Structure 1
Amino acid sequence: MSIKGMDAMDIRQSHTVKMDGRKMIELTGVMQVDRFDSTEFLLETVMGKLKIRGTGLKMKHFDTGKKEAAIEGRITAFMYVEGGFGKSFFKRST
């Protein structure tokens, strides 16, 4: 089913990640962008916090109404993060 055929409740609960090689990542279910720069994006999704790392990263598309985002650049990693984005591993372990 396409995004156009979903009602607001379905969009809020839906989350997909689609990568085209390592040069673009398209996402649905993105609630907000917490932080970003050319090497890292930190996103809040309906399924939790998502960190995307790479080089030359930039936001190609972000639609808050549809909860869709597209990021392009060289993607080297993406991972879901438990807890907050605020502290590094070393600060949490002390």
Structure 2
Amino acid sequence: MEEKLTNRPHKLTVLNRSTCCLTGLEDVVSFDENQVVLNTVMGLLTIKGKGLHVSRLTVEKGEIDIDGTVDSLTYSSNEAYKRSGDSLFSRLFK
């Protein structure tokens, strides 16, 4: 039986603004050295900083570790992200 990711707990740990460990990950939306955008069970999480690097990613377990200098962490609704998966026509005719 497959376990759903939404049943997983969400935990975010930041150590010395240089290491982030996160559980409750559903998907990695985008990442580069200045910004990582993650879809979590609690909404979209945007991590901004410098020299960001994904050191460990296990989507099956819903876990990610990020190294670098963390400047900000921002949560937002993931409704916009979910709607972006709709087709152009379905968004136009709602």
Could you state the TM-score of these two structures normalised by the residue count of structure 1?
0.76
1:26 aligns with 2:21: yes
Paired with 2:17 and 2:72, the residues of 1 have a C-alpha distance of 9
Amino acid at match of 1:75: V
Aligned pairs for 1:1-94 within 5 A? 8-9=3-4, 12-82=7-77, 83-84=79-80
Give the unaligned 5+ runs of structure 1: 1-6, 87-94
Considering only CA atoms, is the larger Rg found in Structure 1 or Structure 2?
Answer: 2
RMSD: 2.2
Paired with 1:12 and 1:70, the residues of 2 have a C-alpha distance of 20
**Match in the other structure for 1:3:** none
Give the unaligned 5+ runs of structure 2: 85-94
1:79 CA displacement: 1.0
Paired with 2:53 and 2:80, the residues of 1 have a C-alpha distance of 22
How many residue pairs are counted as aligned between the two chains? Answer: 80
Deviations 1:21-44 (A, max 9, x none): 100000000011001100000000
Identity among equivalent pairs (%): 29
Paired with 1:12 and 1:63, the residues of 2 have a C-alpha distance of 16
Q: 4+ residue runs of structure 1 moved beyond 6 angstroms?
A: none
